[in-house]
């Protein structure tokens, strides 16, 4: 049974959950799953309500219209979506295939309910991997001198395809601040280290040199400040002295795949709420 | 700021959360934390609401009286408790000290907010460990022939001390069905294996013989059927071929301590709800 | 730099490692990596020596001939292999693709250095997934009445292709005892539970009913006794009350993929030694 | 059966393991456990050999004398010790008890075979916890102005008691470089963060502010450069958005206790070898 999802964050005040559940009850909706969190330091309220769509005596457009005045009154950021309309997700990759291959398999198997209008890369290497899934592959080189034009072209593509989410599945280019700002909270990046350790390039080599006993990966929303955006998920794996830097790369790939897949899945289900530089994640 | 905790489970129906949060709002209570779960297979609703006590315009006794008709109408099992009145917990041990020592340290450090009227053992070995904490140690032997009398005496002690929870911290005696029934959902046991593997005695030896690569521990509520009660928490640790059965015992102790401590802490905070042979655990 | 791998197990006696490392030194081999384990209960010695092939003043055939008398004297089971000759691995699947897709990606990326003469299935569903990798897919139905003939045909295929290892990547058929015996220690199976819990069919449904808080997968060598063969690796993941049986299946897939991939990789590198019903795994 | 332990590191060359195992065989020693690792980048060889003491036809002093010329020839750092002579360990603490209580329990239970000549603190708070174990507690204040004298006094104590290992079990003072140098590789510190993240003070508060989803602890050898010494072990735990900074502290305590206990246990068994800024740890 498909759900209708209300995701909301707003300044905290007394009676918020009663107000929201009351709204749903008014429209005869049956609550399937409710998550609520109040951040006492920030004084902020976060909620996700999953409503059995079949029980609602009203369509999604009308429901949105009915909720709009409440959202305004509460000074809330909110979305009301039907699960039956999947998000549209653009995947961006460079030359490494492990995250892409994993996402594609999970998408194919139904673990990632979304539409993928295209996969975009600054290299042509992964074309076959994409096209054999019946998906469109777009090659957009990022040669020195034409980067600005390329980013503009890319933004165009996002607009034209009505993209809801951009996944940087090991896309080795730094997203310009303007694009980060426009798609604030809608660009997911996988960083190949356990942030905030080893920010930037070559984290596995640096982890090897530091002699750490655990390596990891971090999935976060891209923001203008490199590798400093809100963290969605992290994953670690134990390593030993005998692992070379190359072997850390190999082991790290499994961390990256798991952290990214879980984060994308959470975002697609409206389970990730951003506030300032942190996230609230209502795990499934 | 201390909370007032409403724990409730009942048959599912439309509008339950709205009803509960409405009740709290009526009494001007501010919801600090809300957890809700509906089991679609069982058709059962579970909730835990933490209310800022300071915001309530009514005492706990009056609040209970005000809620009683709602609880009855919903056919609910429910409790309404103030965090400021800690549960009374009897610890039962035999000869092994690791779980006891860990619980005592966590209790002393404030991780386990409860009162401990006494620690009871069928052996006298751990008396010093208990008495040096200023707690009462009771030695109740379980010699063949006088077991029935001993269990009766023990039940007396639980009644006399108004015990809310009984923790079997490696108590190597099988609790009789009548006591399990009387304290249904209020006897926590730590089983030194990853249930349902290796039910019963000597699980580490048997794990060693089977050559498993992970060992674990399981915390569950004791029921008449041995080692088959509702599971509260489990913990595992990776082992290798070079670990002897004795080393599995050593490594397993850390699993046992962690799983038991987390489970007791959850129970003390009304975060564990039982239904049939399963638990709903709203993790902290 | 490729290695030459000596894998050996034999009854324990004084001076074994000195004997083996002396043999290598005699042939001017440089030891890259040495693992040794003595099981004190079984009185058995296990070793794996990786020798830098370039330093050996002798070819693999001559080296084997030179070692043969030592092996015989020590009553040892042993192999001497060059890493440059990869094992030949047959993959067996039914309808579920997650393990197969993962193994193929890892094989393609170089994580699993082996040759795959063919992928065999009792169903035709996964043909495209295999053929697009340029691998041969063989459909061998297992209809009632013709199973005996099918198993005989399959054994023929293994012989004809010189198969070193058979991987049951969610192959939902029970391998007959004769085939288990012939390929003793060379058939790897992934069981979708944390053995010895939930042996047999539908383990996730049974785990759901039992209300466990951790689920897992077990990789083991297939033997005549179902699900009781020597365990190579296990993997677990934490689950909560809100996970349905279907969601346990989804989460379990990641456990299965990781445990199977690690086990196959270990076997390919001669890191797994079997003795009786247990394994010694020199992890990489 | 007690073992004699040879721990050795030296520049790599051909035939090292053969040389060492030959030496043991010469003295009729039976090898119980052998670990060896060659770091190809550093060109360095590391080994730990456990010899069944009962099989040696020679005492430890004579064995050391016999090995000395080999050690010199190999340019090796090495120790030869009998397990029956436990290391002497000084524990240093400040006001927090969790690591101390854990170490004392493990010591009492036999998990940490060592002698503890004294526990030293810059505060008097933990005196009772120590003295009730029958151990000596020394209070050495670190007031501004008398720190230099206090460190000198402490060094005196280490010399007078023949201390082999110093464990900083949440000792909140920075060890002066001279002491770090003198006890190079023999001062174990537990840092309450997952290094190299959040070096220095208040890591849990900073982890909270950064919104990480995993927190951890790092055990390392103290060196003159703060928090930059060779890492022995690390531990992590998953956290969620609802955990306050105080709750991260609580959860982190379990990480700290486990990482420290494992590291101390490894050091006591000569399983940790230092080279430059890294460690080789032959795990038990």
ipTM of the complex: 0.95
Of C98, C101, C258, the CB nearest to A254: C258
C247 touching chain A per CB within 8 A: yes
Cβ <8 Å between A33 and B31: no
pLDDT tens digits, residue range A40-49?
Answer: 899 999 999 9
The domain tally of chain C equals 2
Pairing relation of β-strands B44-52 and B87-93?
unpaired
Beta bridge partners of C46: C9, C37
Of all residues in chain B, what percent are helix, strand and coil, respectively (each to 5)? 35, 30, 35
Query: What is the residue-averaged pLDDT of chain C?
Result: 96
Of D210, D242, D280, the CB nearest to A241: D280
Are C28 and C111 contained in the same domain? Answer: no
Q: Which of D227, D233, D270, D284 is catalytic?
A: D227
Closest residue on chain D to B101 (Cα)? D105
Mean per-residue pLDDT for C264-282?
97
Per-residue confidence (pLDDT) for residue B8, from 0 to 100: 98
Are D77 and D164 contained in the same domain? Answer: no
Which has more confidence, A192 or C95? C95
Per-residue confidence (pLDDT) for residue A252, from 0 to 100: 97
Cβ <8 Å between D36 and C34: yes
Per-residue confidence (pLDDT) for residue D14, from 0 to 100: 87
Cβ <8 Å between D278 and A241: yes
Beta bridge partners of C49: C6, C34
Cβ <8 Å between D31 and C32: no
Are B140 and B165 contained in the same domain? Answer: yes
Cβ <8 Å between A111 and C250: yes
Cβ <8 Å between A242 and D37: yes
Query: Taking CB atoms and an 8 Å cutoff, what residues of chain A touch C101?
Result: 101, 105
Rg (CA), chain B: 20
Are D70 and D206 contained in the same domain? Answer: no
Q: What's the gap between Cα A76 and its chain centre?
A: 21
Classify residue D55 by its DSSP letter. Answer: G
Listed as ranges, residues in chain D with pLDDT below 50 are none
Closest chain D C-alpha to A56 CA, distance in angstroms: 31
Closest chain D C-alpha to A21 CA, distance in angstroms: 21
pLDDT at A85 over 90: yes
pLDDT at A239 over 90: yes
> Is B239 within 8 Å of B199 (Cβ atoms)?
no
Cβ <8 Å between D22 and C24: no
Are A43 and A124 contained in the same domain? Answer: no
Per-residue confidence at A194, pLDDT binned at 50, 70, 90?
Answer: confident
pLDDT at A177 over 90: yes
Are D172 and D188 contained in the same domain? Answer: yes
Per-residue confidence at A161, pLDDT binned at 50, 70, 90?
Answer: very high
Q: Can you give the residue range of the structural domain that contains B32?
A: 3-82
pTM metric for this prediction: 0.96
Cβ <8 Å between D33 and B258: no
Task: Kindly list the catalytic residues of C.
Answer: 227
Are B94 and B72 contained in the same domain? Answer: no
Rg (CA), chain A: 20
Are D35 and D134 contained in the same domain? Answer: no
Classify residue D128 by its DSSP letter. Answer: H
Of all residues in chain C, what percent are helix, strand and coil, respectively (each to 5)? 35, 30, 35
Given D82, D101, D120, the domain boundary residue is D82
Mutate to test the interface with C, among B211, B219, B229 (most CBs of C within 10 A): B211
* CATH number of the domain bearing residue A28: 3.30.70.260
Mean per-residue pLDDT for C50-74?
96
Of D101, D242, D247, the CB nearest to B105: D101
Query: Taking CB atoms and an 8 Å cutoff, what residues of chain D touch B101?
Result: 101, 105
The least confident of A243-247, B181-185, D30-34 is: D30-34
Size of interface A-B (CB pairs under 8 A): 49
Cβ <8 Å between D31 and C36: yes
Are A68 and A178 contained in the same domain? Answer: no
Q: What's the gap between Cα A108 and its chain centre?
A: 18
Given D28, D49, D82, the domain boundary residue is D82
* CATH number of the domain bearing residue A213: 3.40.50.170
C133 touching chain A per CB within 8 A: no
Crossing angle for the helix pair C245-268 and C203-210, to the nearest 10 degrees: 130
Are B13 and B116 contained in the same domain? Answer: no
Long-range pairs for C189-193: beta carbons < 8 A, 24 or more residues apart: C189/C219, C189/C220, C189/C221, C189/C222, C189/C229, C190/C99, C190/C217, C190/C218, C190/C219, C190/C256, C190/C259, C190/C260, C190/C263, C191/C217, C191/C218, C191/C219, C191/C220, C191/C227, C192/C217, C192/C252, C192/C256, C193/C217, C193/C218
Are B103 and B74 contained in the same domain? Answer: no
Per-residue confidence at A63, pLDDT binned at 50, 70, 90?
Answer: very high
D33 touching chain B per CB within 8 A: yes
pLDDT at B1 over 90: no
Q: Which of residues 36-75 of B touch C (CB under 8 A)?
A: 37, 39-41
Given B48, B82, B116, the domain boundary residue is B82
A227 is catalytic: yes
B148 touching chain C per CB within 8 A: no
Are A66 and A100 contained in the same domain? Answer: no
> Is A256 within 8 Å of A217 (Cβ atoms)?
yes
pLDDT tens digits, residue range C208-244?
Answer: 999 999 999 999 999 999 899 999 999 999 999 999 9
Pairing relation of β-strands A87-93 and A119-121?
parallel
Closest chain B C-alpha to D114 CA, distance in angstroms: 17
Size of interface B-D (CB pairs under 8 A): 25
């Amino acid at each position: 049974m498909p759900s209708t999802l209300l995701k909301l964050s707003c300044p905290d005040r007394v009676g918020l959950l009663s107000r929201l559940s009351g709204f749903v009850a008014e429209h005869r909706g049956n609550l399937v799953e409710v998550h609520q969190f109040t951040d006492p330091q920030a004084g902020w309220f976060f909620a996700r309500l999953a409503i059995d769509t079949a029980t609602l005596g009203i369509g999604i457009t009308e429901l949105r219209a009915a909720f709009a005045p409440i959202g305004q009154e509460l000074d809330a950021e909110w979305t009301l979506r039907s699960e039956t309309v999947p998000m549209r997700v653009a995947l961006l990759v460079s030359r490494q295939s492990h995250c892409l291959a994993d996402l594609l398999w999970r998408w194919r198997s139904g673990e990632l309910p979304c539409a993928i209008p295209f996969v975009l890369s600054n290299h042509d290497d992964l074309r076959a991997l994409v096209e054999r899934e019946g998906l469109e592959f777009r090659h957009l080189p990022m040669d020195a001198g034409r980067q600005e034009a390329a980013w503009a072209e890319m933004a165009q593509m996002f607009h034209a395809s009505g993209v809801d989410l951009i996944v940087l599945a090991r896309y080795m280019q730094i997203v310009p601040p303007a694009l980060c700002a426009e798609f604030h909270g809608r660009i997911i990046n996988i960083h190949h280290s356990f942030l905030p350790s080893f920010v930037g390039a070559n984290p596995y080599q640096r982890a090897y040199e530091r002699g750490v006993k655990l390596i990891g990966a971090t999935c976060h929303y891209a923001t203008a400040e490199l590798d400093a955006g809100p963290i969605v998920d992290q994953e670690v794996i134990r390593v030993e002295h005998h692992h070379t830097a190359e072997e850390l790369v190999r082991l790290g790939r499994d961390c990256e795949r798991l952290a990214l897949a879980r984060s994308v899945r959470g975002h697609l289900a409206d389970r990730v709420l951003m506030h300032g530089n942190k996230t609230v994640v209502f795990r499934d």
